[in-house]
Amino acid sequence: MPSKQSKLAPFYSGEVEHPIKDFLDQYKELADKYGLTGPQKVETVIWYVDCSQRHVWQALPGYIDCNWDDFCDELCKGYVNPTTEGQFSKQKLLDFANKYTCKRMGDETNVINY
pLDDT (tens digit per residue) in 83-112: 545 445 666 667 666 666 666 667 777 666
pLDDT at 8: 82
Distance CA 1, CA 95 (A): 31
Q: Is the pLDDT of residue 62 over 70?
A: yes
- The SS3 call for residue 47 is helix
pTM: 0.66
Q: Is the dihedral of CA 70, 39, 4, 26 positive or negative?
A: negative
Q: Is the dihedral of CA 98, 86, 9, 43 positive or negative?
A: positive
Q: Hey, where are the domains in the chain?
A: 20-82
